[in-house]
């Protein structure tokens, strides 16, 4: 028998508001999308856990952006896990699913010798948020350090630093299976954020009154009571979870946003990316059969070009 909450809520982001606490938030469940993201690579467990956490954070942060915009995370460190990159593509039109993708770069030899937590495997580095509003605009970027013991803590620090908005996350990921089914990756998370007053938002100011502090502290204490299986599901739907956690705060939900795995790569974009290479570089990348190959790190798509398709003369470049 198929679980009805799994059908209804997997790969969705549910925005909500706690009317009694002036707090807004999102609940996200990723199942098929997360499985496709991680299924592109045979990541070691620590890398897979961080990629899954980053994907959940990206989905919750990205849900607020406008149509056709893109929100990305770039997390870089000097440890054995060197890079995690994610992209959230907002729908082109209302009602369509959003798209998400993610990948990681790591040093397998160094990682095999690492005995700390997955987050500690990143070492020292940066947590960057990039917002692309489309052609003709300058992308926004905000950066904070890798600290706090988790990617969620870095995201919380980013919001406090860049927008002065108190923010909290609860994140859970893992491999699980329904009875009789195959094991697969699942992830669930809740994001809470204090709502700025209208006038403060317009002036770029944030001031929490004593009542605001009480409301915020109460909401975060309630969030801390969430259990791992409640986050991941699939037997507890996001709406049931909100009632279980925040019933006294009068949770109000809005339309959910579907999110699927999706990649924006294509032959023209690959050609554009390879345009930075000189003819000499292209000549070194050309096989004995006269082919230049490229693979997409996000989705594994394989591309083959003749050097002349890239606007390069490999023969001349080799001279």
Pick the CATH number of 267-317 from 3.30.2130.10, 1.10.3720.10, 3.30.420.40, 3.90.1280.10: 3.90.1280.10
What angle, 0 to 180 degrees and rounded to 10, lies between the N-to-C axes of helices 210-224 and 238-246? Answer: 120
CA distance 125 to 315: 41
pTM for the full predicted model:
0.86
Phi, psi for 196 (deg, rounded to 5): -70, 150
Residue 265, pLDDT score: 82
Residue 203, pLDDT score: 42
User: Domain-by-domain residue ranges, the chain?
Assistant: 4-261, 267-317
pLDDT tens over the chain, length 319 residues: 333 344 468 899 999 999 999 999 999 999 999 999 998 888 999 999 999 999 999 999 999 999 899 999 999 999 999 999 999 999 999 999 999 999 999 999 999 999 999 999 999 999 999 999 988 888 899 999 999 999 999 999 999 998 889 999 999 998 876 666 677 789 999 999 998 765 444 445 566 788 889 999 999 999 999 999 899 877 889 999 999 999 999 999 999 999 999 988 888 887 877 777 888 878 878 888 888 888 778 887 888 888 888 775 544 444 4
Residue 97, pLDDT score: 96
Q: Which residues contact 266 (CB under 8 A, 6 or more apart)?
A: none
Closest CA to 125 of 171, 187, 61, 79: 79
Residues 96, 52 contacting (CB under 8 angstroms): no
Cis peptide upstream of residue 256 (ω within 30 degrees of 0): no
Residue 283, pLDDT score: 82
CATH number of 4-261: 3.55.30.10
Closest CA to 60 of 139, 176, 140, 159: 159
Residue 34, judged by CB atoms within 10 A of its CB (0-12, 13-18, 19+), counts as: buried
H-helix or E-strand containing 77?
Answer: strand 70-77
With the C-alpha atoms ordered 140, 95, 229, 184, is the resulting torsion angle positive or negative?
A: negative
With the C-alpha atoms ordered 109, 113, 116, 117, is the resulting torsion angle positive or negative?
A: positive
DSSP annotation of 290:
S
Closest CA to 195 of 220, 166, 221, 171: 166
CA distance 58 to 260: 13
Q: Where are the alpha helices (DSSP H) in 179-309?
A: 198-203, 210-224, 228-232, 238-246, 267-274, 279-285
């Amino acid at each position: 028998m198929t679980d009805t909450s799994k059908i209804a809520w997997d790969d969705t982001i549910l925005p909500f508001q706690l009317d009694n606490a002036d707090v807004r938030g999102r609940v996200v469940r990723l199942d098929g999308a997360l499985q496709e993201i991680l299924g592109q690579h045979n990541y070691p467990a620590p890398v897979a856990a961080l990629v899954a956490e980053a994907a959940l954070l990206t989905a919750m942060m990205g849900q607020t952006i406008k149509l056709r915009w893109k929100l990305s995370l770039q997390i870089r460190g000097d440890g054995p896990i060197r890079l995690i990159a994610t992209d959230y593509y907002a729908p082109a039109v209302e009602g369509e699913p959003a798209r998400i993708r993610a990948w990681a770069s790591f040093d397998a030899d160094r990682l095999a010798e690492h005995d700390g937590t997955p987050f500690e495997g990143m070492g020292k580095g940066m947590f960057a948020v990039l917002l692309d509003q489309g052609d003709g605009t300058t992308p926004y970027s905000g950066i904070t350090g890798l600290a706090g013991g988790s990617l969620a803590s870095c995201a919380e620090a980013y919001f406090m630093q860049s927008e002065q908005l108190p923010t909290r996350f609860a994140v859970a990921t893992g491999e699980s299976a329904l009875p009789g089914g195959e094991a697969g990756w699942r992830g669930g998370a809740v994001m809470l954020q204090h709502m700025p007053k209208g006038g403060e938002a317009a002036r770029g100011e944030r001031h929490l009154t004593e009542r605001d502090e009480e409301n915020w502290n109460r909401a975060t204490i309630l969030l801390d009571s969430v259990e791992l299986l409640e986050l991941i599901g699939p037997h507890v739907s996001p709406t049931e979870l909100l009632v279980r956690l925040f019933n006294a705060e009068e949770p109000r939900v809005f339309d959910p946003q579907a999110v699927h795995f999706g990649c924006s790569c294509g032959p023209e974009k690959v050609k554009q990316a390879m345009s930075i290479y000189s003819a000499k570089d292209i000549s070194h990348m050309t096989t004995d059969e006269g082919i230049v190959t490229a693979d997409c790190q996000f989705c594994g798509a394989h591309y083959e070009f003749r050097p002349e398709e890239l606007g390069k003369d490999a023969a001349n470049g080799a001279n």
